[in-house]
């Protein structure tokens, strides 16, 4: 039995990114449900491309901008985050560019599991680390700058392949 994780107090400057993590987890759930329900893998692939282009790509760019602003260039947390973003993007590129090929359930399973693991790491380790090593004033300034860049995103993909 997995130990319950206590919700962590999130600095308000990181809340917009944390909120979007919920959308990322929902994206993964939709993929799992679609596979479970036998949805057309081409449609799931279309959804992956849609989600990347409309939500996830910009989210990753904002996180990278945030960490480049707050942490030294050689910080291991920053390096890990950028590497995980790159790997997620590579899987998504395979799906988006390879839609003419035979897409497999395993490819989608890998994407959704890697994204879940990445989001959990950011929420449970990266964000608390940032809050511990970055001064409150710098976090506040960065949060205000992020507000200027950040736009609320909406997932309005159809068809809703995840619903049976």
Paired tokens of 72: 């030294």
Within the chain, residue ranges assigned H as helices are: 15-36, 41-51, 57-70, 76-97, 105-121, 127-133, 136-149
DSSP letter for each residue of 68-89: HHHS-TT-HHHHHHHHHHHHHH
pTM of the model: 0.90
Least confident of 3-7, 135-139, 148-152: 3-7
Mean pLDDT for all residues in the chain = 90
d(CA 161, CA 41): 10
Residues 72-127 pLDDT 10s: 989 999 999 999 999 999 999 999 987 667 789 999 999 999 999 999 999 999 99
């Amino acid at each position: 039995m997995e130990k319950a994780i206590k919700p962590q107090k999130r600095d308000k400057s990181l809340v917009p990114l944390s909120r979007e993590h919920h959308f990322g987890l929902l994206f993964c759930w939709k993929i799992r449900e679609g596979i479970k329900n036998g949805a057309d893998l081409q449609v799931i692939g279309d959804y992956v491309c849609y989600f990347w282009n409309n939500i996830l790509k910009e989210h990753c760019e904002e996180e990278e901008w945030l960490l480049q602003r707050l942490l030294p260039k050689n910080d291991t947390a920053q390096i890990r985050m950028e590497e995980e973003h790159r790997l997620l993007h590579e899987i998504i590129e395979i799906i988006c560019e390879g839609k003419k090929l035979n897409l497999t359930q395993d490819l989608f399973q890998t994407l959704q599991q890697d994204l879940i693991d990445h989001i959990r790491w950011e929420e449970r380790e990266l964000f608390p680390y940032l809050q511990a090593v970055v001064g409150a004033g710098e976090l506040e300034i960065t949060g205000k700058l992020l507000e200027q860049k950040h736009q609320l995103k909406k997932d309005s993909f159809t068809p809703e392949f995840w619903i049976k």
